[in-house]
Amino acid sequence: MAKYMVTGSTGNFGGLALYYLSKKVAKSDIIGLARSEDKAKKLRDQGFDVRIGDYTNYESLVNAFRGVDRLLFVSSTTSGEISRQIQHENVVDAAKEAGVKFIGYTSLIKADTSQSPLATDHVFTENLIKESGLNYAILRNSWYLENEKNIIDAALNIGKFVYSAGEGKVAWALRREYAEAAANALSSDEDYDQIFELAGDSATYADLVAALANASDGKFEILSLEPADHKRFLINNDVPEGFADYLVELHQGMKNSMLDSDSNDLKELLGRDLIPLSDAVAEIL
Ligand SMILES: NC(=O)c1ccc[n+]([C@@H]2O[C@H](COP(=O)([O-])OP(=O)(O)OC[C@H]3O[C@@H](n4cnc5c(N)ncnc54)[C@H](OP(=O)(O)O)[C@@H]3O)[C@@H](O)[C@H]2O)c1
């Protein structure tokens, strides 16, 4: 029987991927990767085997990956003293050294052409994986709907739904939908060697407003602002300037379809339709 490992399994995406994987294959064939014994405990209590490894420590990864056939590599959140690119290189090289046969990697939608500052590390990692000689599925996730929680909370708490992405479209889906698709790819016996553009149904912020109005009793003003006014609003509401700049830039990218796609890959990997936006918004409220 194949052995499966999910990295980042103590996080949101990896935890969901473990859960969906356990619906497809025996729990005894699933291993989570955690950075510490402390964090591993919760997963062990759920009946998962857990090994300890850190993307910044190559040897820990080689040891953790031994005997694993199919690895779901959840991209690192952090670029600290050791850059995200080095961390990702460690994971791919260690997988190869340990004899892993297949890597599923969580990348970013349209990574190769994206203007997003996040894309560089993903393209770097995709290339490493393609050159590694291992079988692969590049899982290019579009935007998590959960990323909009701050805008939604502001609408419900201070009565203002604020954005500057204009009529730009975003292919939002729930994190759990991407995670289930990843688990499906991992548990398949396909070699794939394929890039998946995993996208929800295209929607604008006006559509998100309508979904929120549908899913909540909240009354809020809708402010579709110019970038400078969006930044001012964020700073006036205690968002640190660097993060405000990032968010405003993100919205300008969204205006230019940076996170949009008409790909059906997510539906195809899930084998069903996606959760409609108003139901998905209700779920994250
Ligand atoms: N497409 C999108 O909209 C979107 C949005 C957010 C994030 N992302 C990407 O998707 C990934 C998963 O998202 P998430 O929501 O699950 O994030 P999360 O909840 O923060 O989980 C990140 C996981 O990565 C682990 N990790 C971080 N650095 C590590 C290292 N050096 N070595 C080993 N493990 C490490 C964390 O371990 P600890 O528990 O020990 O911290 C955690 O398990 C993120 O890392 C990010 O790259 C995509």
pLDDT in tens, 161-195: 999 999 999 999 999 999 999 999 999 999 999 99
How much distance in Å is there from the Cα of 210 to the middle of ligand 1? 30
Asked whether 261 lines ligand 1 (CB < 6 A), one says: no
* Residue 28 near residue 2 (C-beta atoms within 8 A): no
Give me the residue spans of the domains in the chain: 4-141, 143-173+198-261+272-285
Residue 79 has pLDDT above 80, yes or no: no
CA–CA dist 27, 30 (Å, integer) = 5
**CA pair distance 157, 207, nearest whole angstrom:** 20
Q: What is the pLDDT of residue 80?
A: 77
User: What DSSP letter does each residue of 10-46 carry, written as one string?
Assistant: TSHHHHHHHHHHHHHS-GGGEEEEESSHHHHHHHHHT
CA 192 – ligand 1 centroid, Å: 24
Residue entry with tokens 């031994």 = 66
**Distance of CA 175 from the midpoint of ligand 1 (Å):** 12
DSSP per-residue letters across 134-196: SEEEEEEE--BGGGGHHHHHHHHHHSEEEE--TT--B--B-HHHHHHHHHHHHHS---EEEEE
Identify the residue whose C-alpha is closest to ligand 1 atom 22: 11
Cα separations (Å) of 191 from 33, 178, 267? 22, 19, 19
Looking at domain 4-141, its CATH class is alpha beta
Closest to 107 measured CA to CA, from 78, 142, 73, 139: 139
Question: Quick check: CB of 39 below 6 Å from ligand 1?
Answer: yes
Whether residue 150 has its Cβ less than 6 Å from ligand 1: no
Q: What is the mean pLDDT of the chain?
A: 96
The answer to whether residue 230 scores a pLDDT higher than 90 is yes
Q: Which CATH superfamily is domain 143-173+198-261+272-285 in?
A: UDP-galactose 4-epimerase, domain 1 (3.90.25.10)
Q: Taking the CB of residue 279, how many other CB atoms lie within 10 A of it?
A: 13
Give 9 Cα–ligand 1 centroid separation in angstroms: 9
CB distance 8 to ligand 1 below 6 Å: yes
State whether the beta carbon of 35 lies less than 6 angstroms from ligand 1. yes
| pLDDT(18) > 90 | yes
Residue 51's DSSP bridge partners are 33
Q: Is the pTM of this model over 0.75?
A: yes
99: Cβ contacts below 8 Å, ≥ 6 apart: 65, 66, 67
CB 90 near ligand 1, within 6 Å = no
pLDDT at 143 over 80: yes
Expressed in angstroms and rounded, the spacing between residue 8 Cα and the centre of ligand 1 is: 6
- Distance from CA of residue 213 to its chain's centroid? 26
Is 130 touching ligand 1 by the criterion CB < 6 Å?
Answer: no
